[in-house]
Structure 1
Amino acid sequence: MNGPRIRTDIVDVYVFRQRLPKEGPSVEFLQLRRREEPLAGSWQPVMGHVEAGETATDAAVRELREEIGLQAAGMECLGLWQLNGVHPFYMARGDAIVMSPRFAAQVRPEFEPRLCEEHDAWRWVAPEDVETCFMWPGQRLAIQEVMREIVGAASRSREHLRLDVGQGEVRPGQSGPPL
């Protein structure tokens, strides 16, 4: 085969919290600062590789646990959703076009991440600061999708994108009659 290879083995999880307006911005997104290369010192969402035998959803659930200490089926996680948008990008190192499955996870307002060795800091970012705080266009587009399809009051897809995470098994949420 000629040309770059296609990779789909990296997942992104956009962790967000909603707070009462009197406490500050009503929605904030979690960012983690990478400790080592590549991209040491850059801020990113929860990210990781799909391991052998895992689905992308399994990888997202595992990465939440490993990177920030969040149990997707636990009390701190209020919901997990798949996102439809995939923003392909070219990665010169490895000559690959990467298409990452993306997810959103809502946590309780008081949630504080428990970082693994991959990261050395965390912060919450308000939607109005996304343009300056998130480095990559695809990440900014994913946050727009979260705001529109998961957080947005007018969303018609929120419950259809919700994932049922329990007993270690992940299934797409079902609400309403089938189409």
Structure 2
Amino acid sequence: MEQKIVVGAALYDDGRLLAARRSAPPELAGGWELPGGKVEPGESCEDALVRELREELGVEAELTGRVPGEWALPRGHVLRVWRARLVSGEPKPLEDHDELRWLGAGEIWSVGWLEADVPAVAAVAGA
């Protein structure tokens, strides 16, 4: 079975990291994650992430580098994360999220990250 790739963005603006609270599916609702989504067939990870940020948050972002590592997710998926910076737009929870929060350096662990996102967030935060 081919591995399904999920891409996530460590989206920064002014030194703050964007966290997104899931509203769907029910088993993930209320948990916080790095925004992103599934890579479509024939799509590069980078293109998928830029598209997902546009669809989910209504923003244009520039990817500035891959965060080393990848993390196993349920159902045979794997998470890969890129650092990104906001180019234009103000993030809004348009799809699959009901709240967004900008977290300063001392606030990274102030939200309840989804268990699958914790190792990726730790890598992003340099913890």
Q: TM-score band, normalised by the shorter chain?
A: 0.7 to 0.9
1:126 counterpart letter in structure 2: G
Q: Are 1:51 and 2:51 an aligned pair?
A: no
1:15-46 residue CA offsets vs partner (Å, 9 max, x unmatched): 1111xxxxxxxx21111111122310111111
The number of residues matched between the two structures is: 123
Q: Aligned to 1:9, what secondary structure does the other structure show? A: strand
**Does the C-alpha gap of structure 1 residues 8 and 85 become closer, same or farther in structure 2, counting only changes over 3 Å?**
farther
User: Aligned-residue CA RMSD in angstroms?
Assistant: 2.5
The TM-score normalised by the length of structure 2 is 0.80
CA contact (8 A) 1:31 1:122 kept: yes
Q: Does 1:29 align with 2:12?
A: no
Of the three residues 50, 71, 83, the one matched with 1:88 is: 71
SS at match of 1:117: coil
Indicate how the Cα distance of structure 1 residues 107 and 59 shifts in structure 2: closer, same or farther if over 3 A, else same.
Answer: same
Which of 110, 113, 123 is the matching residue for 1:132?
Answer: 110
- State the partner residue of 1:105: 84
Q: How many Å apart are 1:123 and its aligned residue?
A: 0.9
Equivalent residue for 1:12?
Answer: 8
Percent identical across equivalent pairs? Answer: 28
Match of 2:94 in 1: 116
4+ long deviations beyond 4 Å? none
Q: Distance in 1 between matches of 2:120 and 2:30?
A: 17
Cα deviation, 1:74-133, whole Å, max 9, x if unaligned, reads xxxxx4222241232352xx3x3x43221111126x952132131111111112121332
Which one-letter code corresponds to 2:68 in the other structure? G
Which segments of 5 or more consecutive residues in structure 1 lack a partner in the other structure?
19-26, 73-78, 146-179
- For the residue of structure 1 that corresponds to 2:55, the secondary structure is helix
Deviation larger for 63-72 or 131-140: 131-140
Task: Give unmatched runs, 5+ long, in structure 2.
Answer: none
One of 67, 85, 88 as aligned partner of 2:56? 67
Letter matched to residue 56 of structure 1: C
Separation in 2 of the partners of 1:42 and 1:137? Answer: 11
SS at match of 2:7: strand
Where relative contact order (Cα < 8 A, 6+ residues apart) is larger, the structure is: 2
